[in-house]
Amino acid sequence: MKWDALEEEPCSLARTVAVIGDRWSLLILRQCFLRVRRFDEFQSSLGVTRHLLADRLKKLVRFGVLRKSPYQEAPKRYEYILTQRGLDLYPIIMSIVHWGNVHMVDSRGRPLLHEHKSCHKMFDPVMICSECGEPLTAKAVRVHQGPGARQSSPMHAKDPEKH
| Sequence spans of domains, the chain | 1-88
The pLDDT of residue 13: 86
The pLDDT of residue 149: 82
Architecture of the CATH domain 1-88: Orthogonal Bundle (1.10)
CA distance 115 to 98: 13
Which stretches of the chain score pLDDT less than 70? 1-5, 8-10, 151-163
CA distance 76 to 151: 49
The answer to whether 52 touches 112, Cβ cutoff 8 Å, is no
Q: Does residue 82 sit in helix, strand or coil?
A: strand
The pLDDT of residue 11: 80
Q: What is the pLDDT of residues 70-100, one digit of tens each?
A: 999 999 999 999 999 999 999 999 999 999 9
Phi, then psi, of 109 in degrees rounded to 5: 95, -170
The pLDDT of residue 4: 66
CA distance 24 to 36: 14
The pLDDT of residue 160: 53
Phi, then psi, of 80 in degrees rounded to 5: -110, 115
